Amino acid sequence: MEGSPDQWEARRHPPVYIIIKGRNMTVRSDLGTAAACKPYFGDLEIILHTFNMVDAFCATWKLVDSENFDEYMKALGVGFATRQVGNVTKPTVTISHEGDKVVIRTQSTFKNTEISFKLGEEFDETTVDDRNCKSTVTLEGDKLVHVQKWDGKETKHVREIKDGKLIMNLTFGDVHAVRTYEKA
């Protein structure tokens, strides 16, 4: 964007607020894209762009399709009865921002879970099938990549938006499943 921040304001572009306290920095913006910040804030563009990319996932999503999910659960070691319930349950997933954390709430008739994390920082997670994992979620391009590690094993959930749908690819070893969600 051409011009100075004062000229942006004159064009009704909202300002960016940067608050620095000691070694902590907070960035607040009502800008629609980070590109408007580039001429003046350089590296901060990445921070703003990251939050804007996560915002694309922020919504309430309802499961509408599931491919190979039973095989995926079987590979994880999920028991028969739990797999049967998992195959018929249609969870609702809500992804939101709360401060500097991303929150993913999953609700179903079977079980409700919630994880809260900062991108790129490891956190403890108890999964729907009661695995205790060390998990990390990162933003890689336009994808949220969620890695769960437990007992020397690892699974990966890759979420992306395609044609207005949330597509979740789940991989464990050579087993791959796809879960498709639409906005609720």
Specify the pLDDT at position 145. 96
Q: Is 99 helix (H, G, I), strand (E, B) or coil?
A: coil
What average pLDDT does the chain have?
Answer: 81
Residue 59 has pLDDT above 70, yes or no: yes
Residue 38 has pLDDT above 70, yes or no: no
Other CB atoms within a 10 A radius of the CB of residue 19 amount to: 9
Question: What pTM did the predictor assign?
Answer: 0.72
Residue 28 has pLDDT above 80, yes or no: no
Specify the pLDDT at position 46. 46
Residue 153 has pLDDT above 70, yes or no: yes
Determine contact, residues 92/111, Cβ cutoff 8 Å: no
Kindly list the structural domains of the chain, giving each domain's residue range(s) and its CATH number in brackets, ordered by start: 5-55 (no CATH), 59-183 (2.40.128.20)
**What does each C-alpha distance from 76 to 95, 117, 134, 175 come to in angstroms?**
24, 23, 16, 10
Q: Is 147 helix (H, G, I), strand (E, B) or coil?
A: strand
Determine contact, residues 94/56, Cβ cutoff 8 Å: no
Residue 6 has pLDDT above 70, yes or no: no
